[in-house]
Chains A and B, each alone.
Chain A
Amino acid sequence: MTELSQAAISGLLLGSIYALVAVGLTLIFGVMDIVNFAHGDFLMAAMYITFFLWLYGRLDPLVSIPLAAAGIAILGVVVYAVLIRRVLKGPVLSQIIVTFGLLVFMRGMAQVLFTANTRGIPDPLVGPVRLVFGGVVAGGAQLTAAVGAILCTALVYLLLTRTELGSAINAVAEDADAARLMGIDPNRIHMLTWAVAGASVGVAGALLMNFFPVTPEIGAGFGLVAFVVVSMGGFGSLQGAFLAGLAMGVIQDVVGLFQPAYGFAAIFALYLLIVMVRPQGFFGTR
């Protein structure tokens, strides 16, 4: 029983990180119908920012959270301004190719600049922290990551539902032309959406760096998970992504308890099942 509770708790902690990684992806898709294939590589960039701040500035990943968030928000804005804005009106194929090209470019650049070496932070502040309840352990790094992920997802949710900016984002997502007639500049809103999406994945990268080693390829695994989370939760749905993220973490760890080789495969099997029964995902409308 302890084993099962442990797997479930660890799965929830892992799942909240999956959810946070997916938030930015679903946000961008919801607002402008673009799938950012390079999303996992934004995470990679955030992890490298956090790692180098630690290596050269001795900044703990917790301290680096706002810096990584700001860095990736800026990256998001630049990517939007330089690439995305130009292809929004272009053919569908260029929209697909451009972010895929960005993925290949970012991975290649990371390997050239940072080499393929695996880098990790051996002594983060939260490393030695452990919470134990009746034999079930929550590691400090994972716990911090989960709390940070939940807070950050909640902030993005509040931003979208409780603020004027959120209303503007929703308006542009609904109908960009109508929003323009109401005096909202869709271009500015799109740019802000990329900034918010970048910031959220930046936070995720900094939190992950507490216990995860980074390589130029790290985006492949997490990016893939993020796509499945977004499809499972419903394209563009924040609540959907959050629930799907948690579900995937728990399934991975609980199935893994019985069949360690198939924990990761199980989440993809579940995804296929859900796509068959409910193609629009948990909360998808379209």
Chain B
Amino acid sequence: MTKRMWLPILAAFTLTMACGGGSGDAGTSQPSGSNLGEIKIGVLEPLSGPNASQGKDVLNGVELARDVLNGKYPEVNIPKLTVGKITLVSSDTQSNPQIAASEVDRLVRTEKVVAIVGTYQSATTLTASERAERLGIPTVCGSSSSTALTERGLKWFFRVGPSDKTFAETYFDWLKSIQAQHPVKRAVILHTNDQFGNDGAKIITEVAGKNGTTIVDDISFQGNATDFTSQVQKVRSANPDAVFTLAFTNDAILFVKTAAQLGYTPPAILAFGAGWIDPKFITALGPMANYSITRASWASQFGDKNPTAKAVAALYEKNYNQPMTENSAREFTAMITTGEAIQQAGSTDPEKIRTALRNYKQTKTIMPWKGIKFDANGQNEQSAGVIEQMVNGRYELLWPAEAATTKLTWPAPPLTGR
């Protein structure tokens, strides 16, 4: 074979690599229960590829919710389903929006699922929910936060967790409360170049404008970057009072390490969850992870006030050998919501499940929210966010002030020499 002949092959390979690789996995089957028998729910998460560790975390949350709904843990104060037994058919998005959409097709047409829970990343939720809309199957989303998802006028899409708009407003409510000591006049946004990052940046800029904060630079990067030098340099030269970040795990780690190498410590990193709350972010960075601030919609500290949340978090830690994260808590809640809607519908007809979701009202959740009630766009209008700061490798609550478990450290001490 001549060297020239390799060129087109190499080009084809490059394209294939860009599309990612891997395979999905099959669901579990359980004996059928009462009248509806087996109720098949599709779970679509990134189980291979760059976001697989977070994908596994959220899948654990969904599986725990299934077991609770099926009555495996009567000690948890969530009523078990009496209409049937939930079976999950889990599938892998590979972090790829096209694959997410085609997997919805497969789940609905071949596996005959009656609802879909997922898909963690906003970029894949965008395409998956559009496909499900066309097929007339409800999608219940836990942890994708891109605001645009619930501004598309979809009839079959429901999000239990807060949108980034809610999160951004929470950030600025909190910043307002500390503005005497730590005014944020100039901020930078550092974000991954995808649905989550770009939409988040847009929303932050919007909310910042209303609150008198100028976004002096909007810096984006391609996910799974090989280098972060230019991004760190851009942030440093903008000299901001705080840095808003939207990034997944690898990028979050590399950003902090590169900043440390270049001798720059942002005064405050205000993260939008994602990589910043992955337990692996903390183990890979050690003390350098400390003092990161994140928005969250769940915190283990709430367990002290909410016995159900405490029991669920304890079960999660026991079963999966790592602490429950806000991602797994949100996805757990999405699955419970789906199950309870099916219970209320008393049917596996997707149309009836959708109507039940539309009318769904719940005040008891494991989340620090007033409850769950969907608006016309499918957004849970009662969800809310909290602000946390990492102290000694663990996130502690800063806001709401009455629930705070730690005192704010601002500016963060230098990354090197911690």
Give the CA-CA distance A279 to B3 in the complex, in Å. 11
Give the CA-CA distance A118 to B289 in the complex, in Å. 14
On whether A222 and B226 interact (CB within 8 A), knowing A119-B284, A227-B14, the answer reads yes
Closest residue of chain A to B227 (Cβ to Cβ) is A14
Asked whether any CB of chain A lies closer than 8 Å to the CB of B5, the reply is: yes
Asked whether any CB of chain B lies closer than 8 Å to the CB of A236, the reply is: yes
Cβ contacts under 8 Å, A6 to chain B: 229, 233, 262
Contact partner, A111, options B18, B48, B221, B222, Cβ 8 Å: B48
Give the CA-CA distance A252 to B230 in the complex, in Å. 8
Cβ contacts under 8 Å, B9 to chain A: 35, 96
Give the CA-CA distance A219 to B10 in the complex, in Å. 16
Cβ contacts under 8 Å, A148 to chain B: none
- Are B3 and A235 closer than 8 Å at their CB atoms? yes
Asked whether any CB of chain A lies closer than 8 Å to the CB of B53, the reply is: yes
Give the CA-CA distance A270 to B308 in the complex, in Å. 57
- Are A231 and B227 closer than 8 Å at their CB atoms? no
- Are A257 and B3 closer than 8 Å at their CB atoms? no
Give the CA-CA distance A123 to B3 in the complex, in Å. 44
On whether A107 and B249 interact (CB within 8 A), knowing A118-B278, A211-B261, A263-B230, the answer reads no
Contact partner, A130, options B2, B257, B261, Cβ 8 Å: B261
On whether A33 and B1 interact (CB within 8 A), knowing A118-B278, A225-B226, A261-B222, the answer reads yes
A220-250, CB under 8 A of B: which get 1 and which 0? 1111110100010001100000000000010
Interface residues of A in 116-130 (CB under 8 A from B): 116-123, 127-128, 130
Interface secondary structure of A, over-half rule: helix
B370 to chain A, nearest CB (A): 35
- Are A221 and B229 closer than 8 Å at their CB atoms? no
- Are A3 and B280 closer than 8 Å at their CB atoms? no
Contact partner, B231, options A139, A142, A256, Cβ 8 Å: A256
Give the CA-CA distance A31 to B20 in the complex, in Å. 29
- Are B250 and A213 closer than 8 Å at their CB atoms? yes
Asked whether any CB of chain A lies closer than 8 Å to the CB of B352, the reply is: no
- Are B1 and A137 closer than 8 Å at their CB atoms? no
Closest residue of chain B to A271 (Cβ to Cβ) is B14
- Are B262 and A122 closer than 8 Å at their CB atoms? no
On whether A213 and B284 interact (CB within 8 A), knowing A37-B13, A128-B416, the answer reads yes
A5 to chain B, nearest CB (A): 11
- Are A118 and B250 closer than 8 Å at their CB atoms? yes
Asked whether any CB of chain A lies closer than 8 Å to the CB of B408, the reply is: no
Asked whether any CB of chain A lies closer than 8 Å to the CB of B417, the reply is: yes
- Are A140 and B288 closer than 8 Å at their CB atoms? no
Cβ contacts under 8 Å, B162 to chain A: none
- Are A11 and B1 closer than 8 Å at their CB atoms? no
- Are A221 and B224 closer than 8 Å at their CB atoms? yes
Cβ contacts under 8 Å, B284 to chain A: 118-122, 213
On whether A116 and B52 interact (CB within 8 A), knowing A35-B10, A130-B416, A132-B263, the answer reads yes
- Are A111 and B52 closer than 8 Å at their CB atoms? yes
B13-29, CB under 8 A of A: which get 1 and which 0? 11001101111000000
Asked whether any CB of chain B lies closer than 8 Å to the CB of A29, the reply is: yes
Closest residue of chain A to B288 (Cβ to Cβ) is A122
- Are A286 and B4 closer than 8 Å at their CB atoms? yes
On whether A33 and B3 interact (CB within 8 A), knowing A217-B49, A261-B193, the answer reads yes
Give the CA-CA distance A139 to B13 in the complex, in Å. 34
Cβ contacts under 8 Å, B253 to chain A: 118, 120, 213
Give the CA-CA distance A118 to B223 in the complex, in Å. 14
On whether A236 and B3 interact (CB within 8 A), knowing A118-B281, A257-B233, the answer reads yes
Contact partner, A217, options B50, B225, B263, Cβ 8 Å: B50
Closest residue of chain A to B21 (Cβ to Cβ) is A104
Asked whether any CB of chain A lies closer than 8 Å to the CB of B212, the reply is: no
Give the CA-CA distance A207 to B286 in the complex, in Å. 19
Asked whether any CB of chain B lies closer than 8 Å to the CB of A163, the reply is: no
A212 to chain B, nearest CB (A): 7
B403 to chain A, nearest CB (A): 30
- Are A130 and B229 closer than 8 Å at their CB atoms? no
Give the CA-CA distance A275 to B52 in the complex, in Å. 35
Asked whether any CB of chain B lies closer than 8 Å to the CB of A195, the reply is: no
Most chain A CB within 10 A, of B3, B229, B285, B417, is at B229
On whether A35 and B263 interact (CB within 8 A), knowing A116-B52, A118-B281, A256-B230, the answer reads no
Interface residues of B in 207-241 (CB under 8 A from A): 219-222, 224-227, 229-231, 233-234, 237
**A-B interface, 3 closest residue pairs, ranked by CB to CB distance from nearest:** A256-B230, A139-B261, A116-B52
Interface, chain A (partner B; CB < 8 A): 3, 6-7, 10-11, 14, 29, 33, 35, 37, 92, 95-96, 100, 103-104, 107-108, 111, 115-123, 127-128, 130, 132, 137, 139-142, 211-213, 215-217, 220-225, 227, 231, 235-236, 249, 252-257, 260-261, 263-265, 275, 279, 284, 286
